[in-house]
């Protein structure tokens, strides 16, 4: 889906969330702790919410939200993010986008 393609290929870390989703919130907190400012798209406020959800699932996200993209590439949902982080592979991925401050 074009919209998803466009939004996901923005620079940096992009996360598709739903305002009601608390796991999405947890993932956002994690990136914040890693000194990254992700771009958040709350799809439940978008009129094309259903389409976006289907598109995200089709791309290969295990759950539609949260869907994390880094540098235009799909990283995955909460499971994938956590696995990457514990194996030490997440930080190298997001290094270009980490804030130097604090």
Partner 1 sequence: MNSASTHFVPTSRVGIYEPLHQFGMWGETFKNNIGNGGSMNTPNHILIPNNQKLDNTNLSEDTSHGTPHMFDQEASTSRHPDKIQRRLAQNREAARKSRLRKKAYVQQLETSRLKLIQLEQELDRARQQGFYVGNGIDTSSLGFSETMNPGIAAFEMEYGHWIEEQNKQICELRTVLHGHVTDVELRSQVENAMKHYFELFRMKSAAAKADVFFVMSGMWRTSAERFFLWIGGFRPSDLLKVLLPHFDVMTDQQVLDVCNLRQSCQQAEDALSQGMEKLQHTLAECVARGGLGEGNYIPQVNSAMERLEALVSFVNQADHLRHETLQQMHRILTTRQAARGLLALGEYFQRLRALSSSWATRHREPT
Query: What are the residues binding partner 1 (CB under 8 A)?
Result: 20-23, 25-27, 29-30, 33-34, 63, 78-79, 82-83, 85-88, 90
Q: How far apart are CA 63 and CA 57, in angstroms?
A: 7
Strands 73-76 and 39-42: unpaired
Q: Which helix (H) or strand (E) holds 13?
A: strand 13-17
Smallest gap, in angstroms, from Cβ of residue 31 to partner 1?
A: 9
Residue closer to partner 1 by CB (options 35, 54) is 35
**Shortest distance, position 64 Cβ to partner 1, whole Å:** 12
Nearer to partner 1, 2 or 33 (CB): 33
User: What DSSP letter does each residue of 28-68 carry, written as one string?
Assistant: HHHHHHTTB--EEEEGGGSTTHHHHHHHHHHHT-SSSSSEE
Min CB(77)–partner 1 separation in Å:
10
Nearer to partner 1, 47 or 88 (CB): 88
């Amino acid at each position: 889906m074009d919209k998803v393609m466009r939004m996901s290929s923005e620079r940096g870390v992009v996360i598709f969330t739903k305002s009601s989703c608390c796991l999405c919130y947890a993932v956002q907190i994690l990136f914040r702790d890693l000194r990254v400012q992700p771009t958040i798209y709350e799809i439940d406020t978008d009129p094309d919410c259903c389409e976006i959800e289907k598109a995200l699932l089709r791309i290969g996200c295990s759950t539609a939200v949260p869907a994390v993209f880094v540098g235009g590439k799909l990283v995955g949902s909460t499971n994938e993010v956590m696995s990457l982080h514990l194996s030490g592979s997440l930080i190298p991925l997001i290094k270009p986008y980490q804030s130097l401050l604090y």
